[in-house]
Structure 1
Amino acid sequence: MTACGLDFGTSNTTLGVARPDGPALCALEGEETTLPSAIFFDRKGERRLGRAAVDAYVEGVEGRLMSGLKSVLGSSLIDEKTQIGSRRVAFRHVIGAYMQGVKQRAEERLGHELGAVVHGRPVHFVDGDAAADRRAEDALRVIAHEIGFREVCFQFEPIAAALDYEQHIDTEQVALIADIGGGTSDFSIVRLSPERRRLIERGKDILANDGVHIGGTDFDRVLALRSVTPLLGHNSPMKRAGLYVPSSYFHDIATWHRINRLYDPKVLTEVRQVRRDAAQPELIDRLIRAIEERRGHALVGAVEKAKIRLASEPHTRLALDWMGEGVAVELSDEDLAERTGALASRISGRIAACLALAGLKAGDIDALFLTGGSTRLAHVRRAIIGELPDARVIEGDTFGSVGIGLSIEAGRRFGPAA
């Protein structure tokens, strides 16, 4: 039975297998090994995945885009239904449709069926709620069985990243693995060595796991709320003194997995009523247009791209011409750090908790292994590295380390692929 490692991320997904000559990720879209975690259903109900899903939405194809699907796990949304065309479909079935598409693409590339999977999972799907965390993993397990995997098991994503890193070391060391992804920030402290990597059972080498439900999509949300949604009327006054436009609409449009809530016809009726009593109705007109034209995902996508540009450029311009000629937001890396600094601090703060769980001090960590897209943000990197100033910093494959490590784990548990 061929097994795979599957990293279903909030922003991107990878799938890999362990071959006799080493682990390898499968190409899932053209020659790309990363597939954006997005699915688009057109009016006929046909689905498109990844970049094709986003392109269809941006090009104005009539249908429904859903992204940030992993964020639904562990929330009440997993048991709710959403409108897709003329049908109401459960969110768990939407996730299943996406995962089925990933599995099919990999099987086509490999030329044979995948019967077993090692699923990556964050240390905490839900912070401080063990029961919700179990429900999230159980939901993912059920979905995996429903799409055809006969054997399903899980591994923490930072542990998977550690297995990738361990392939490249020649001395024993204690490493802290920081996996800052799209939806969660996870940390593990692991004892690694060339000799230990031959062992199948590694439980004694895992010294601590900890994490927090903060990731790249939270940076997108906060940046949108602080920089863009005020142009749509967020925090603007109503005609009646002391009242402000309700904030829930703006939190929905700034949060990937909540955007589609705005497209309920009842919401548009509510917003039009708000406009009549707003002191600046011209701003609410922009919100109405965003809802009518279903611009939510494109709006947050533009914010995400601006954030990514600021990881390598000091300044960027976020054009919003659809709101009016010349409407734009000028952003700097200092703006990003100031507006999302609290998130970076909460992420780095979990390192102390992880060290305490392991019974170690910062100076006991030999290496700090960084992976996940949000480690590219300068202020996030500074916050993390500042907690371990003496550790050697190792750059992992930003989007591939976890998938590679899960592939290694799949080979250990089920044997290498042919």
Structure 2
Amino acid sequence: MSASPPCGIDFGTSNSTVALAEGTSSRLLALEGDSVVLPSAIFFSFEENDIRFGREAVRHYVEGVEGRLMRSLKSVLGTQAMGEKTAIKAQRWSFAEIIGLYLKELRRRGEEACGVPLEQVVLGRPVFFIDRDEVADRRAQDELEAIARDAGFREIEFQFEPIAAALDYERQVTGEELAVIIDLGGGTSDFSIVRVSPERRRRADRREDILASSGVHVGGTDFDQLLSMRKVMPELGHGTPARDGKRDLPSWAYFELATWHRINFLYTPQAAQMLKELRYDASEPERVQRLIDLVEERLGHALAGAVEGAKVGLSANDDYRMHFGLMNGSLDIAFSRGELEGAIDGAVTRVGAALDECLKLAGVGEAEISTVFLTGGSASIPFVRQSLTGKFREAHVVQGDVFGSVGSGLALDARRKFGRALAAAE
């Protein structure tokens, strides 16, 4: 084995993996105990003056350790927020620095798991970081590349995440297939139409086998936001009338609270004053007071996590009840699977339109698809899965490793991209 074997990193909106290229295969590395999946979360502990990652980060936050939890960092790439700094205790951090901390930790844990330096990497990327903005999309990749280089990676390449998933799936095929790869992640939904076969997987250049790729910036965190706006935010005053009865209350605060990476914008003196003005303007001020209490107690991320838990619960059950304690009272909300489906229906329609676009770009009809390969956490939502796979009535539906397929495929791609140098070193 080379002193620096190629690896693949799937830096996800919600979860991340690192995989090592080994011969003609790949191996996901244990990153947190025995788990090969590390939640994309960072916790800055004010009490212990240190930084925690993954499940430990979330656990510290949930247990009430004073500090700052940050998630969904990938969603910031390419946006204006990348040029801003956020205050964490006495220090101001750029989002590039915060993402860099996480990538350095991924690299460190990967090296600890395999016992060798990791310097050659293929990073996964969505088909579009930013919808309908080529300049911002390119900027997002450039930002991630610079962060990865600063994290210690010497050679950096990129691959579309659905293509990586196709490479992972191809290891199990026994004949020629025309597959649609559906990667439903936390921040994006991506698609590729790919020809796969045992013979094709031995080729170094697979460009002719990739008929089309498309994607849309809609994923699991968007479903969380939509469910929160539909079911939770009304309990805090969203959609209720102002005192004059001529209009509803402004929705800015509810949007911020329902959007994970924007919650911290509520934790400022300016926002606190605006919330007091919102309460004064409300016909039901007691609801807005709940919102103020929640923000003052810094429970925004905990609430977002509880809504995500409701979504996950509704993926397996028809009903779910959320009990969320506040200093003065609590939120006790009953959810139904039908309400989840109603909340996310428009977003799922957008995802389906992106899949239709991929078929159109490939020049193939739905009946020509022989296999549908699903990966990504949002593929676990029955309504989403059925809405997309139902287009392909004759196809074989394969459920891949929800969190590991992309990382495994990226490692296979790393073997191809860096294979010549690796063979020379060996």
TM-score calculated relative to the size of structure 1: 0.97
- 2:11 aligned to which of 8, 13, 19: 8
What does residue 229 of structure 2 align with? 225
Determine helix, strand or coil for the equivalent of 1:97. Answer: helix
- The worse-fitting range, judged by mean Cα deviation, of 36-45 and 197-206 is 36-45
Q: Distance in 2 between matches of 1:377 and 1:279?
A: 37
- 2:220 aligned to which of 203, 216, 222: 216
- 2:378 aligned to which of 360, 363, 374: 374
Does the 8 A contact of 2:224 with 2:307 survive in 1?
Answer: yes
Does the 8 A contact of 2:24 with 2:412 survive in 1?
Answer: no
1:267 aligns with 2:267: no
| Equivalent position amino acid for 2:36 in 1 | T
What does residue 66 of structure 1 align with? 70
Residues 2-32 of structure 1 deviation map (CA, whole Å, 9 limit, x = unaligned): 2210000000000110113721111111111
Residue correspondence of structure 1 range 221-370 to structure 2 within 5 A: 221-322=225-326, 325=329, 327-370=331-374
1:19 aligns with 2:27: no
Q: CA deviation at 1:245?
A: 2.3
Q: CA deviation at 1:326?
A: 6.4
Does the 8 A contact of 1:368 with 1:393 survive in 2?
Answer: yes
| Equivalent position amino acid for 1:59 in 2 | E
Measured at CA, do residues 18 and 321 of structure 1 come closer, stay the same or move farther in structure 2, by a change above 3 Å? same
Residues 127-172 of structure 1 deviation map (CA, whole Å, 9 limit, x = unaligned): 1100000000000000000010000000000000000000000101
| Equivalent position amino acid for 1:382 in 2 | Q
| Equivalent position amino acid for 1:53 in 2 | A
| Equivalent position amino acid for 1:18 in 2 | A
Q: CA deviation at 1:413?
A: 1.8
What does residue 99 of structure 1 align with? 103
Q: Distance in 2 between matches of 1:60 and 1:269?
A: 25
TM-score calculated relative to the size of structure 2: 0.95
What does residue 390 of structure 2 align with? 386
What does residue 194 of structure 1 align with? 198
Q: Distance in 1 between matches of 2:192 and 2:49?
A: 41
Does the 8 A contact of 1:351 with 1:387 survive in 2?
Answer: no
Q: CA deviation at 1:324?
A: 5.6
1:411 aligns with 2:424: no
| Equivalent position amino acid for 1:31 in 2 | D
Q: Distance in 2 between matches of 1:345 and 1:359?
A: 21
Q: Distance in 2 between matches of 1:167 and 1:261?
A: 45
1:175 aligns with 2:183: no
Q: CA deviation at 1:348?
A: 1.4
- The worse-fitting range, judged by mean Cα deviation, of 401-410 and 270-279 is 270-279
Q: CA deviation at 1:208?
A: 0.1
| Equivalent position amino acid for 1:5 in 2 | G
Q: Distance in 2 between matches of 1:313 and 1:251?
A: 27
Q: Distance in 2 between matches of 1:224 and 1:117?
A: 37
Q: CA deviation at 1:345?
A: 1.5
Could you tell me which runs of 5 or more consecutive residues in structure 1 were left unpaired when the two chains were aligned: none
Does the 8 A contact of 1:348 with 1:387 survive in 2?
Answer: no
Does the 8 A contact of 1:39 with 1:47 survive in 2?
Answer: yes
Q: Which runs of 4+ in 1 moved over 4 A?
A: 323-326
Residues 315-357 of structure 1 deviation map (CA, whole Å, 9 limit, x = unaligned): 1101123276564111111111112111111111222211111
Does the 8 A contact of 2:293 with 2:326 survive in 1?
Answer: no
Measured at CA, do residues 137 and 35 of structure 1 come closer, stay the same or move farther in structure 2, by a change above 3 Å? same
Q: Distance in 2 between matches of 1:275 and 1:325?
A: 18
Q: Distance in 1 between matches of 2:104 and 2:16?
A: 12
Could you tell me which runs of 5 or more consecutive residues in structure 2 were left unpaired when the two chains were aligned: none
Residue correspondence of structure 1 range 29-48 to structure 2 within 5 A: 29-43=32-46, 45-48=49-52
Using the aligned pairs only, state the percent identity. 49
Determine helix, strand or coil for the equivalent of 2:316. Answer: coil
